Amino acid sequence: MDFQPIERPPDAFQQSVTADQVVAMSLRAFGPHVQVRAGVELGNGSYNNTYRVDLTGDLDANVTEGVDAHPPQDRSVILRVAPEPARQFRTEREFLRNEVASIPLLSPIAALMPRLLAADFSHAVVNRDYVFQSLLDGVPAPQGLAAYPRASWAAFFRSLGAITRTVHDVRGEGFGPVNGPAFATWAEALAARLADLAADLDDLGLDATDVRQVAEVAGRHLGVLNRIREPRLLHGDLWTVNVMVAPDAPEPTICGVFDCDRTSWGDPEADWSILLAGRRPGTERDAFWDAYGPLANSGEARLRRLIYRASHLGAARLERHRLGNAVGVAESYDELREILALLTD
């Protein structure tokens, strides 16, 4: 087997599994007659370890039905392996289980998503959750967009807005992560999220005072938050890094959506894609709103969006710390200070 893990320092958050573990996971998922020709770790993403696994042999039909992009004797699949449970933040716990639970809910965009081939949360092979998925066609959007003149990028963002709206049109019954815990009100779900963020920052030795101040502001505006009465499905990470584009289309065309492990029920305006689409107004990103539709512009809606932006900044601080981005961590305090000034004005 040709095994190509990404070499990382011993103290890095992401740690590769071994070649033997990739073989054992593959045999468990696809049956004893499969052979693993290669396992190549992919560099995208900073949470799960992701591999392209090249297989040969007789794969069990029940897990490969409909995955016919390659002949039966030669097939590539994606393996995603979660961090060990002890390494997971409270705000990122059991993400792969959350994604598996969300697959039926994401059926309106199923044609764009990879097929789930196998999931193993038993920890019998390795002390980590893992899933096998079909390999999506296309090119990662950050790379694919670069092949087009910037003037044509509006088509991409218009399509992204339409996909986001399709996801947000899915209705639920409770607030919070798709796989739980569920909350009766949006304010309760948001309060739990902010409390977990603060606790995660505490565990890392980072000052969480500003996140707790945001939680206090949210607690003073329960009525405003609880105007959101109907839970809607949020993707949580739908942006260019988790999208594939068709390589030879006349304009940037989305052909795949992946990494749907941060799904939750909440206010659509709290979704990550809404925050990013609103950045850099006056650019091609404005086309997002052509398909998605305008946001509410009341004072209460603007207040909610400030709280959501603060929550995203707290999560970004965790991510920046994990990546060793000390400058980004410091900047998050300045950014959150500005938001708190607006919230308490």
Hey, what domains does the chain have and what are their CATH numbers?
2-135 (3.30.200.20), 140-343 (3.90.1200.10)
pLDDT, tens digit (0-9, with 9 covering 90-100), for 183-209: 999 999 999 999 999 999 999 999 999
Question: To the nearest whole number, what is the mean pLDDT of the chain?
Answer: 94
Model confidence at 41: pLDDT above 90: yes
Q: What is the pLDDT of residue 68?
A: 45
Instruction: Label residue 71 by pLDDT band (50, 70, 90).
Output: very low
Model pLDDT, residue 308 = 98
**What is the band of 66 on the pLDDT scale with cuts at 50, 70, 90?**
very low
d(CA 204, CA 314): 13
pLDDT at 11 > cutoff 90: no
Residue-wise pLDDT for 111-163, tens only, equals 999 999 999 999 999 999 999 999 999 999 999 999 999 999 999 999 999 99
pLDDT attached to residue 63: 52
Q: What is the pLDDT of residue 60?
A: 61
pLDDT in tens, 210-246: 999 999 999 999 999 999 999 999 999 999 999 999 9
Structure tokens at 206: 């980072």
Q: How far apart are CA 345 and CA 329, in angstroms?
A: 25
Residues 17-35 have a mean pLDDT of 96
Q: Could you give the angle at which helices 186-203 and 299-322 cross, rounded to 10 degrees?
A: 30
Structure confidence at residue 59 (pLDDT): 67
User: 67 pLDDT exceeds 60?
Assistant: no
Is beta strand 243-245 parallel, antiparallel or unpaired with respect to 254-257? antiparallel
pLDDT score recorded for residue 44: 78
- Per-residue confidence (pLDDT) for residue 73, from 0 to 100: 61
Q: Read off the pLDDT of residues 258-317 as tens digits, 9 standing for 90 and up.
A: 999 999 999 999 999 999 999 999 999 999 999 999 999 999 999 999 999 999 999 999
From residue 286, alpha-carbon distances to 153, 161, 326 in Å are: 10, 10, 31
100, 30, 106: which is closest to 72 by C-alpha?
A: 30
What distances in angstroms separate CA 100 from CA 21, 90, 157, 292, one per listed residue? Answer: 22, 19, 27, 26
Query: Beta strands 2-4 and 116-120: pairing type?
Result: unpaired
How do residues 242-267 score in pLDDT, each as one tens digit? 999 999 899 999 999 999 999 999 99
